[in-house]
Amino acid sequence: MSFLADYVHYVGSFGLVLIGLYIVLVKSNLIKVIIGINLIDTGVNLFLVSVGYIRMGTAPIFSEAEAAGRQMVDPVPQALVLTAIVIGVSVVALALSVAIRLYEHYGTLDLGKIRELKW
Amino acid sequence: MRKALSLVVLLVLALGLASALRGPSIGAEANRGELLDDQKVNFGRRYNSRAVEETGASNVVASVLVTYRGLDTLGEVTVLFIAALGLAVLLHTGRDRKSGKEAEPPSLILFTGCRFVFPLILLFGAYIFVHGHLTPGGGFQGGAVVASGFLLIYLGCRGRQPDRERLNVVESLSGVAFVVIGLIGLAVGGSFLLNFLPKGSPYALLSAGIIPVVYVLIGFKVGCELGGIVGDLSGARR
Amino acid sequence: MIIFQTFLLAAMLVAAICAAAFRDLMNAVIACALVSLTASIIFYFLQAPDVAMAEATIGAGLTTGIFIFAIRRTARQEEDEKSS
Of the candidates B61, B145, B233, the beta carbon closest to that of C69 is on B233
Query: What pLDDT does residue B219 have?
Result: 94
> Which subunits count as partners of chain C given 3+ CB pairs below 8 Å?
A, B
A97 touches chain B (CB under 8 A): yes
Which range, of A10-19, A103-112, B92-101, C58-67, averages the lowest pLDDT?
B92-101
Mean pLDDT of B74-81: 93
**Cβ pair B138:C50 closer than 8 A:** yes
- The span from the CA of C26 to the CA of C65, in Å, is 11
Residue B39 lies in a domain: no
**pLDDT range class, residue C79, cuts 50, 70, 90:** low
ipTM confidence = 0.91
3-state class of C47 per DSSP?
coil
pTM of the model: 0.91
C82 touches chain B (CB under 8 A): no
- Tell me how many domains chain C contains: 1
Query: What pLDDT does residue B35 have?
Result: 47
**Cβ pair B61:A57 closer than 8 A:** no
Which range, of B4-13, B19-28, B128-137, C48-57, averages the lowest pLDDT?
B19-28
Q: Residue B140: its chain A contacts at CB < 8 A?
A: 82, 85-86
> Which subunits count as partners of chain A given 3+ CB pairs below 8 Å?
B, C
Q: Compare B70 and B190 and report the one with higher pLDDT.
A: B70
**pLDDT range class, residue B25, cuts 50, 70, 90:** confident
C63 touches chain A (CB under 8 A): yes
Q: Residue B234: its chain C contacts at CB < 8 A?
A: 69
Most confident of A19-28, A105-114, B40-49, B53-62: A19-28
Mean pLDDT of B221-235: 91
- Tell me how many domains chain B contains: 1
Q: Residue B148: its chain C contacts at CB < 8 A?
A: 57, 61-62, 65
Residue C81 lies in a domain: no
Domain containing C64 equals 2-74
**Cβ pair A76:B84 closer than 8 A:** no
Q: Compare B199 and B40 and report the one with higher pLDDT.
A: B199
- The span from the CA of A51 to the CA of C8, in Å, is 18
- The span from the CA of A40 to the CA of C67, in Å, is 16
Mean pLDDT of C23-32: 93
Query: What pLDDT does residue A61 have?
Result: 85
CA-closest candidate to residue B216, choices B162, B172, B163, B178: B178
Residue B204 lies in a domain: yes
Mean pLDDT of C9-37: 94
**Cβ pair B31:A53 closer than 8 A:** yes
Residue B16 lies in a domain: no
What would the pLDDT profile of B79-112 be if each residue is shown by its tens digit?
999 999 999 999 887 655 555 556 677 788 998 9
DSSP codes of every residue in A11-28: HHHHHHHHHHHHHHHH--
Residue B27 lies in a domain: no
Residue B203 lies in a domain: yes
Residue B85 lies in a domain: yes
Domain containing B113 equals 51-91+109-233
Checking if the pLDDT of C80 tops 90, the result is no
Query: What pLDDT does residue A39 have?
Result: 96
- The span from the CA of B63 to the CA of B52, in Å, is 9
Q: CATH 1.10.287.3510: does it fit domain A2-56+74-118?
A: yes
DSSP codes of every residue in A77-102: HHHHHHHHHHHHHHHHHHHHHHHHHH
User: Exposed, middle or buried, A93 (CB in 10 Å: 0-12/13-18/19+)?
Assistant: buried
**Cβ pair A20:C16 closer than 8 A:** yes
